């Protein structure tokens, strides 16, 4: 038998179903966002962990010139080392039959099914014969390769036919990035695996290795192991061992997951916070309107607690509907999103993980927010003596508004004065509504800013700083005359050369592995920019650092930095920080080319060049470069831009798209509820005005004018608030791979403002319809 | 059939009010609603509080019903000190002893007649069934109607059924006929008088309609926050004889 008071609950809910629905939608969206972000992040982390574990991703890596295989035993003997994998690695040029542009690959010797960094074979089998290779799955996909297909590679200067026998994924190459590039480009760069013997013979590494990976025992001291490895490898041209933390693929993956984590902690937090605030306000007002019913229930002997519980249940039902649908939505979106990321990161499988804690948190936050709003409002009504609560509220203390005092009074009609005085009298309530609308407007902006930012970053990165059409890197440092060889190629209009040296920069206890790029002074293709994006001249001496790198190392212009070179004789020297440059992607050091050559105590040596090219001759230039054996890689700027946009679209922007949609729903939910509540609160007053002869349009003006004024004030505030939230997100998301500037185009502001305006107009129309149906007679009959 | 008489007077008053004052803050204005009221009410009697609007009678009724507390003075109902501002004991008092009828009925619009009554019987100790209570006011045919489907008189009778269903010792009615036409008003008063007669419920009815005074045992005249005088009706008439 359902209790009468519970029947009241359900019928009241049914009565206010559209408002209840709007509130439930707000809860749904905030819970949905929360769960989507956190399950996606949780699933990706879980997948990463289990992938690394199942395929024995190594803990320490080192590259060297050439060491004899027996050294392996000594590496294995280092205390804390579990398993050692020696291998051969080479950068090779490929000749793909149906692809004109140069293609590069990293060729790795296969370490077998039980080795470290094991392959997850997608198709086919491991290589057995000398001409067989397994290629990374995304590369195979990009070139539509299948087992049995053949293509050519230039191995150590010799052109050799290879047969594809399988495709695979590896935990070591989750992100397959060409050296110096920030984005994967599977069409032009891939990873492939060959038999150890075959690859060793091709590179004179029979019985020797030029790369190694090892795994650590639990509790091992990684720095100790690294020091020992460096000691052992030093005579063999070791370039310095590093841990997983500095491993390229892992670092990129981790940073992306960290950024995702930042988004996942900020967006849901903001959404939950805003939804909580709104729930609190909306539900508080909704319950406050039930003042008379609270009094009646109390008059018949219902206790405060019983009344409170009654209204709390009402709120609970709404919130629970929101939480359940939000959880379902969040799990579904999380699944979709994790799937997208799984593809993007080339995970062999996805461990979808929905933490019960996540749902509990989202539920608790929603319940708490709504509950607090309800409790506060009910308590206020319940604490009134019933006699008082049953009387209509005493007429409020109205005053002339400050707008009138300013002398504008005679310009204001009577209804306009009513609006302004009402807003002023209910200052707190008006402020809360205004804040609610402003927040809704703000979160829309946060969803939009990344889209504009991406365009801006492309413009700065590729339009102002890296303006080459092609960049060319040599297999080994080349003599200066290589510049002229490039200059003479058909279609090349301008050449700027560079030298890159791998280094570890040290300042006190802080250090960072990166490269120093020696550039031609006065270059026009490659430019360094200062904080205001003006070109910076290269100092004849000293080093320029990316501003973020300087921050990481706690360096300022004029400070000394220790430079440990990680190639050749590995000299360690000091350099003066001559200044800072602004960069949004990556961090490095820059020097004058000649100064860098001096610093390295080497002659005029080059690592590569930037070219500007006559676009009509690009194709033939590609063909020429393809035939030049000393050229390790060629990257096109347009391709880099495309890669950048693709990555952005596949990752960040999907998130922000979903966030935007949710923000729009939330903003509508808020405004609609504000309008409906205003109608209920002032219905009697407005009906009386109708009786006095006011037209429908006139009373609509009085009611909606208030909403209109609040909305108009809320929009600029919301845009400001949104901007501030964007800066906060950008600040939280910066790392050494990316610094996202806050760029908001006028259209972003316009869109956010428009959404709020349209929500207000639609809500106004919905309320207007109800306003037209006000029952005048009933109003006159009731106590109010 | 219990009828009020001298015996009840001798058993001692059920309500004792001494020196009651009440001051309201209405916006920026202070209103002195009661200025020192002394009054005794006896078990089973039917009292009409008569006075112009603003004379303080509703304030007194609210204090007697535990809906409000006096600013000063004392008021007791049996063991309850109604001048204490103690929400829990006031709630208990209202729940166990008092039935209210309001001028504007105060029915819960989302509940049917039966459910409105059940709202109270579900928390009472020894209630009638909602059906019994509604039969008492002659609404057994309209039990499943919502308030908006009933006339004002019917709504007020539901309110009376809701008030008496818990078998209260006290029935407090604030202008029960104020929103009704004469014919319907008489019908409602008849129900109230019958409850007083048949259940022996001490009944206080507020009105500014002097005609109604005829059905009371005693009439308390109110004016300007004070009891002006108290009259005993030697010839009580029945509600159906009333005309206005």
Q: Where is A161: in which H helix or E strand?
A: strand A158-169
Q: Is the pLDDT of residue A328 over 90?
A: yes
A6-33 average pLDDT score: 85
Write down how long chain B is: 244
What's the domain count of chain B?
Answer: 1
Q: DSSP letter string over A571-634?
A: -EEEEEEEEEE--SB---EEEEHHHHHHHTT--SEEEEEEEEE-GGGHHHHHHHHHT-TTEEEE
Neighboring chain B residues of A383 at a CB cutoff of 8 Å: 87
- The confidence score (pLDDT) of residue A231 equals 92
Query: Half-sphere exposure of residue A755, counting CA atoms within 13 Å on the CB side?
Result: 29
Picking from A1, A301, A781 by the largest number of B CB atoms within 10 A of its own CB, the best residue to mutate is A301
Tell me, what's the pLDDT at A78? 94
* A765 pLDDT more than 50: yes
What distance in Å separates the CA atoms of residue B59 and residue B46, rounded to the nearest whole number? Answer: 19
pLDDT top residue among A735 and B134 = B134
The pLDDT of A750-756, averaged and rounded, is 91
CA distance B126 to A115: 82
Percent of all residues in chain A with a pLDDT value above 70, rounded to a whole number: 95
CB distance B39 to B225 below 8 Å: no
Q: Do B108 and A296 touch (CB under 8 A)?
A: yes
What is residue B2's predicted lDDT score, i.e. its pLDDT?
42
**Residue to test with chain A: of B22, B115, B165, B179, most A Cβ within 10 A:** B115
C-alpha span between B169 and B176 (Å, rounded): 18
At CA B36, angle to CA B34 and CA B37, rounded to 5? 85
Query: How far is residue A177's CA from residue A182's CA, in Å, rounded to a whole number?
Result: 7
Section B73-93 average pLDDT: 87
| pLDDT score, position A651 | 67
**What pLDDT is recorded for position A75?**
94
Q: DSSP 3-state assignment of A457?
A: helix
Q: Which residues on adjacent β-strands are paired with residue A507? A: A510
Q: Which residue has the higher pLDDT, A487 or A422?
A: A487
Gap from B34 CA to chain A (nearest CA, Å): 15
CA distance B10 to chain A (A): 30
**B129 vs B161: CA distance, rounded Å:** 10
In-domain check, residue B102: yes
User: Between the CA of residue B135 and those of A3, B157, B159, what are the distances in Å?
Assistant: 21, 10, 13
CA separation (Å) from A751 to A336, A657, A754? Answer: 27, 13, 5
Distance CA A544, CA A581 (A): 7
Cα distances (angstroms) measured from residue A356 to each of A338, A353, A369, B64:
17, 9, 20, 54
Residue A391 banded pLDDT, cuts 50, 70, 90: low
- Would you state the pLDDT for residue B193? 93
User: Could you report the per-residue pLDDT of A669-679, keeping only the tens digit for each?
Assistant: 878 888 887 88
Instruction: Give A397's pLDDT tier (boundaries 50, 70, 90).
Output: low
Which of B67, B104, B115 is closest, CB to CB, to A385? B67
Q: Which residue has the tokens 């946060």?
A: A446
Using alpha carbons, list the distances in angstroms from residue A684 to A128, A392, A679, A688, A768: 88, 11, 9, 6, 15
Q: How far is B234 from chain A (nearest CA, A)?
A: 34
CA nearest to B92 within chain A: A301
Chain A: residue nearest B65 by CA?
A299
Strands B202-207 and B46-50: parallel
CB atoms within 10 A of CB A646: 14
What's the mean pLDDT in B28-39? 90
Question: What is the reported pLDDT for B9?
Answer: 53
Say which range, A12-21, A417-426, B221-230, has the weakest mean pLDDT: A417-426
Q: Give the mean model confidence (pLDDT) for residues A275-302.
A: 77
Residue B1 lies in a domain: no
- H or E segment and range at residue A163: strand A158-169
Give the Cα separation of B134 and B165 in Å (integer).
Answer: 8
Contacts of A238 (CB under 8 A, 6+ apart): A62, A63, A64, A65, A229, A230, A232
Q: What is the DSSP letter of A407?
A: I
CA A336 to chain centre: 17
A303 CB within 8 Å of a chain B CB: yes
Which of B11 and A582 is assigned the larger pLDDT?
Answer: A582
Under DSSP, is residue A13 helix (H, G, I), strand (E, B) or coil?
A: helix
**Which CA distances in Å does A625 have to A10, A166, A492, A619, B211?**
76, 29, 11, 10, 114
Among B94, B145, B169, most A C-beta atoms within 10 A, so best to mutate, is B94
Among A260-264, A307-311, B159-163, which stretch is predicted with the lowest mean pLDDT?
A260-264
Q: Which of B210, B177, B180 is nearest to B193 (CA)?
A: B177
Q: Closest-CA residue in chain A for B103?
A: A783
B49-67 pLDDT tens trace: 999 888 889 899 989 998 8
* Two tokens, residue B74: 């004392």
Whether B6 has a pLDDT exceeding 70, the answer reads no
Does residue B8 have a pLDDT over 70?
A: no
Q: Which residues of A touch B68 (CB under 8 A)?
A: 385-388
CATH number at residue B118: 3.40.50.300
A397 touches chain B (CB under 8 A): yes
Q: Cβ of B162 under 8 Å from any chain A Cβ?
A: yes
| Chain-centre distance for alpha carbon A754 | 25
Is B200 within the bounds of a domain? yes
DSSP annotation of A462 reads I
Chain B residue with CA closest to A396: the answer is: B27
Residue A779 has pLDDT above 70, yes or no: no
A101-110: per-residue pLDDT in tens? 778 899 999 9
Q: Is residue B90 part of a domain?
A: yes
Q: What is the pLDDT of residues B89-120, one digit of tens each?
A: 888 888 889 998 988 888 888 788 998 898 88
The verdict on a CB contact (< 8 Å) between A5 and B119 is yes
Burial of B172 (0-12, 13-18, 19+ CB in 10 A): buried
The size of the A-B interface in CB pairs under 8 A is: 87
Selected residue of A1, A2, A4, A680 to mutate for chain B interface (largest B Cβ count, 10 A):
A4
- Cα separation, A32 vs A51, in Å, equals 28
Per-residue pLDDT at A396: 60
| 3-class DSSP state of A740 | coil
User: What is the pLDDT averaged over residues B81-91?
Assistant: 85
Confidence (pLDDT) at A777: 58
Instruction: Give A299's contacts in chain B (Cβ within 8 Å).
Output: 65, 67, 94, 100, 106
Stated as kind and residue range, the H or E segment containing A348 is none
| Residue ranges making up the domain that contains B131 | 6-241
Cβ–Cβ under 8 Å, residues A362 and A33: no
Dist CA B147 CA B141 (whole Å): 14
* Tokens standing for residue A409: 């009074």
Confidence band, pLDDT 50/70/90 cuts, at residue A568: confident
Other CB atoms within a 10 A radius of the CB of residue A547 amount to 17
Q: How far apart are CA A602 and CA A563, in angstroms?
A: 16
Residue A154 has pLDDT above 70, yes or no: yes
Q: How far from the centroid of its chain's Cα atoms is residue A216's Cα?
A: 32
Contact (Cβ atoms closer than 8 angstroms) between residue B167 and residue B161: no
The structure tokens listed for B8 are 């009840």
Q: Do A8 and B179 touch (CB under 8 A)?
A: no
Q: Is B163 within the bounds of a domain?
A: yes
Confidence (pLDDT) at A1: 65
Instruction: Supply the pLDDT for residue A778.
Output: 58
Query: Is pLDDT at A174 greater than 50 in this prediction?
Result: yes
Q: Which residues pair with B49 in a beta bridge?
A: B206, B220
pLDDT digits (tens, 9 = 90+) for A198-210: 999 999 999 999 9
Q: Which tokens is B29 given?
A: 């204005």
Which residue from A7, A385, A781 is facing B68, i.e. has the nearest CB?
A: A385
**For residue A309, what is the DSSP state?**
H
In a domain, B117, yes or no: yes
Do residues A432 and A423 touch, judged by C-beta distance below 8 A? no
Give chain A's mean pLDDT: 85
Q: Do A388 and B68 touch (CB under 8 A)?
A: yes
pLDDT in tens, A490-515: 889 999 999 999 898 999 998 888 88
**In sequence order, what are the residues at sequence separation of 6 or more whose Cβ sits closer than 8 angstroms to the Cβ of residue B210?**
B50
pLDDT in tens, A330-344: 999 888 888 888 888
What's the whole-number mean pLDDT along residues A279-293?
A: 74
Helix (H, G, I), strand (E, B) or coil at A78: coil
- Interchain proximity B110–A15, CB inside 8 Å: yes
pLDDT, position B1: 38
pLDDT at A410: 67
- Does pLDDT of A235 surpass 50? yes
């Amino acid at each position: 038998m359902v209790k009468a008071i519970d029947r009241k609950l359900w019928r009241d809910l049914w009565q206010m179903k559209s408002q209840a629905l709007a509130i439930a939608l707000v809860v749904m969206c905030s819970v949905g966002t929360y769960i989507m972000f956190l399950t996606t992040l949780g699933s990706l982390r879980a997948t990463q962990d289990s992938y690394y574990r199942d395929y024995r991703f190594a803990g320490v890596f080192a590259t060297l010139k050439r060491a004899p295989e027996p050294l392996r035993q000594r590496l294995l003997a280092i205390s804390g080392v579990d398993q050692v994998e020696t291998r051969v690695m080479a950068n090779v040029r490929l000749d793909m039959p149906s692809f004109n542009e140069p293609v590069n690959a990293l060729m790795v010797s296969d370490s077998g099914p039980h080795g470290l960094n094991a392959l997850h074979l997608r198709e086919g089998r491991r290589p057995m014969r000398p001409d067989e290779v397994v290629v990374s799955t995304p590369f195979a996909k990009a070139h539509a390769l299948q087992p049995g297909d053949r293509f050519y590679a230039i191995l150590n200067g010799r052109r050799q036919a290879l047969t594809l026998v399988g495709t695979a994924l590896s935990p070591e190459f989750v992100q397959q990035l060409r050296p110096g590039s920030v984005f994967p480009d599977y069409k032009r760069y891939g990873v492939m695996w060959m038999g150890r013997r075959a690859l060793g013979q091709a590179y004179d590494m029979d019985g020797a290795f030029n790369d190694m990976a090892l795994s650590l025992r639990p509790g091992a001291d990684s720095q100790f192991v690294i020091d020992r490895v460096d000691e052992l490898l030093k005579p063999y041209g070791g370039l310095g061992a590093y841990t997983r933390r500095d491993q390229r693929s892992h670092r990129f993956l981790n940073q992306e997951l960290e950024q995702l984590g930042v988004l996942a902690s900020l967006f849901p937090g903001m959404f939950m916070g805003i939804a909580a605030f709104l729930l609190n306000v909306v539900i508080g007002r909704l319950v406050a309107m039930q003042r008379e019913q609270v009094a009646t229930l109390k008059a018949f002997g219902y206790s405060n607690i019983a009344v409170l519980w009654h209204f709390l249940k009402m709120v609970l039902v709404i919130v629970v509907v929101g939480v359940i649908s939000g959880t379902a939505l969040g799990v579904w979106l999380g699944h979709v999103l994790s799937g997208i990321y799984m593809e993007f990161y080339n995970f062999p499988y996805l461990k979808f993980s929905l933490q019960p804690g996540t749902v509990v948190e989202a539920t608790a936050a929603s319940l708490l927010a709504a509950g607090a709003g309800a409790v506060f409002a009910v308590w206020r009504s319940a604490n009134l003596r019933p006699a008082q609560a049953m009387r209509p509220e005493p007429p409020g203390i109205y005053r002339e508004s400050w707008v009138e005092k300013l002398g504008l009074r005679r310009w204001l009609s009577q209804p306009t004065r009513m609006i302004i005085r009402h807003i002023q009298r209910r200052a707190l309530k008006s402020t809360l509504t205004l804040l609610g609308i402003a927040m809704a407007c703000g979160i829309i902006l946060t969803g939009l800013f990344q889209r504009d930012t991406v365009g801006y970053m492309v413009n700065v990165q590729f339009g102002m700083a890296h303006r080459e059409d092609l960049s060319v890197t040599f297999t080994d440092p080349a003599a200066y005359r290589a510049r002229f060889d490039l200059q003479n190629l058909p279609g090349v209009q301008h050449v700027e050369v560079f030298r890159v040296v791998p280094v570890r920069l040290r300042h006190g206890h802080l250090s960072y592995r990166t490269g120093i790029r020696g550039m031609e002074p006065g270059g026009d293709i490659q430019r360094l920019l200062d904080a205001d994006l003006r070109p910076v001249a290269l100092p004849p001496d000293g080093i320029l650092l990316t501003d973020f790198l300087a921050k990481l190392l706690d360096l300022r212009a004029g400070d000394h930095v220790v430079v440990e070179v990680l190639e050749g004789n590995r000299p360690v020297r000091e350099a003066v920080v001559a200044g800072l440059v602004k960069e949004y992607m990556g961090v490095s050091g820059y020097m004058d080319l000649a100064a860098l050559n001096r610093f390295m105590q080497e002659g005029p040596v080059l690592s590569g060049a930037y070219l500007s090219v006559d676009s009509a001759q690009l194709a033939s230039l590609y063909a020429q470069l393809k035939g030049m054996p000393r050229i390790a890689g060629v990257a096109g700027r347009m391709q880099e831009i495309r890669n950048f946009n693709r990555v952005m679209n596949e990752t960040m922007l999907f998130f922000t798209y979903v966030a935007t949609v949710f923000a729009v729903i939330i903003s509508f939910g808020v405004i609609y509820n504000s309008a409906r509540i205003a109608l209920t609160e002032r219905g009697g007053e407005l009906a009386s005005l109708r009786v006095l002869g006011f037209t429908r349009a006139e009373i609509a003006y009085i009611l909606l004018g208030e909403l209109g004024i609040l909305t108009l004030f809320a929009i600029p505030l919301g845009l400001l608030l949104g901007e501030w939230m964007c800066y906060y997100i950008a600040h939280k998301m910066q790392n050494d791979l990316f610094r996202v500037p806050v760029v908001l185009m006028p259209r972003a502001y316009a869109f956010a403002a428009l959404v709020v305006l349209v929500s207000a107009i639609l809500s106004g129309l919905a309320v207007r319809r109800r306003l037209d149906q006000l029952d005048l007679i009933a109003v006159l009959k009731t106590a109010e | 059939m219990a009828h009020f008489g001298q015996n009840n007077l001798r058993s001692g008053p059920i309500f004792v009010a001494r020196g009651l004052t009440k001051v309201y803050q209405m916006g920026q204005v202070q209103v002195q609603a009661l200025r020192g009221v002394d009054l005794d009410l006896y078990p089973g009697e039917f009292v009409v509080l008569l006075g112009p609007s603003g004379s303080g009678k509703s304030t007194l009724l609210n204090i007697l019903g535990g809906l409000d507390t006096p600013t000063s003075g004392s008021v007791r109902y049996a063991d309850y000190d109604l001048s204490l501002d103690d929400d829990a004991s006031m709630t208990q008092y209202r729940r166990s002893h008092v039935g209210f009828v309001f001028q504007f009925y105060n029915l819960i619009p989302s509940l049917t007649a039966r459910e409105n009554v059940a709202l109270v019987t579900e928390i009472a100790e020894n209630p009638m069934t909602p059906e019994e209570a509604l039969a008492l006011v002659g609404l057994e045919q309209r039990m499943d109607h919502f308030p908006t489907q009933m006339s004002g008189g019917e709504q007020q009778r539901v309110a009376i059924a809701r008030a008496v269903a818990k078998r209260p010792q006290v029935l407090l009615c604030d202008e029960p006929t104020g929103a009704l036409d004469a014919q319907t008003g008489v019908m409602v008063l008849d129900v109230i008088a019958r409850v007083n007669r048949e259940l022996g419920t001490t009944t206080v009815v507020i009105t500014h309609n002097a005609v109604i005074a005829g059905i009371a045992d005693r009439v308390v005249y109110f004016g300007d926050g004070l009891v002006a005088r108290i009259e005993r009706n030697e010839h009580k008439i029945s509600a159906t004889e009333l005309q206005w």
